Amino acid sequence: MPASPEKHWYAIYTRARSEKSVRSTLSKAGYEAYLPLKHSLKTWSDRKKWVEEPLLPSYVFVKIAEADYLPVLKLSGVVKFIMFSGKLAPIPDWQIQSLIILLDSKQAHNISHEHLQPGQAVEVISGPLTGMLGEILEIKGQKRLLLRVSHIGLQLDVAIGVEEVHAREA
């Protein structure tokens, strides 16, 4: 029996405001898809309402074998895959898992489009983010754990105490 092709996470760029439908279409087609969502309070002239919206607008993550690239690209709402030098840019499993851990923890976080310099690789060893992997950066005298989603040019940063992390091999 031949070995099944290795699957990796990839970032898909979607049509504007199509992230949820793309995630649904991917799931219905049998692909593993992940759409990080945040809860936001929206205010209209007559009311306020909590809504779920994409954390990373126009991005959905899909775990596929490279051979599934064209069938996924042809799905409704999918614009393109994020590529570097004309090749698919796989995202390490640990980065997606860290993103899932962060969002499940309800820990306060910010999105940054800055291209921050890589720092010390760490793993969270205590608190609600235990098991999360990231990089340390010193900002305004505080240690912050950075979850780098570097394949799409974005970073998440989370304030965390130095005592909650330990260095790890990169």
What confidence score (pLDDT) does residue 157 get? 72
Give the separation between CA 39 and CA 5, rounded to whole angstroms: 36
Give the separation between CA 106 and CA 110, rounded to whole angstroms: 12
Give the separation between CA 146 and CA 135, rounded to whole angstroms: 5
Residue 110 has pLDDT above 90, yes or no: no
List the one residue out of 114, 74, 80 whose CA is nearest residue 10: 80
Question: Reduced to 3 states, what is the DSSP secondary structure of residue 63?
Answer: strand
Asked if residues 136 and 88 have their Cβ atoms less than 8 Å apart, the reply is no
Phi-psi region of 150 (alpha: psi -120 to 50; beta: other; left: phi over 0): alpha
Q: Taking CA 23 as the corner, what is the angle to CA 22 and CA 27, rounded to the nearest 5 degrees?
A: 115
Give the separation between CA 145 and CA 55, rounded to whole angstroms: 18
User: Can you name the CATH fold of 94-167?
Assistant: SH3 type barrels. (2.30.30)
What confidence score (pLDDT) does residue 78 get? 97
Give the separation between CA 157 and CA 142, rounded to whole angstroms: 12
Instruction: Name the CATH superfamily, with its identifier, for domain 7-91.
Output: NusG, N-terminal domain (3.30.70.940)
A 10 A CB-CB count for 27 gives 13
Averaged over 98-121, what is the pLDDT?
69
Where do the domains of the chain lie?
7-91, 94-167
Give the separation between CA 66 and CA 82, rounded to whole angstroms: 13
Q: What is the pLDDT of residues 11-31, one digit of tens each?
A: 999 999 999 999 999 999 999
Lowest mean pLDDT among 17-26, 29-38, 59-68, 157-166: 157-166
What confidence score (pLDDT) does residue 142 get? 47
Q: What is the pLDDT of residues 62-81, one digit of tens each?
A: 999 999 999 999 999 999 99
Task: Assign 117 a pLDDT band (cuts: 50, 70, 90).
Answer: very low
Return the amino acid letter for 146.
L
Q: How far is CA 129 from CA 16, 134, 170, in A?
A: 31, 11, 19
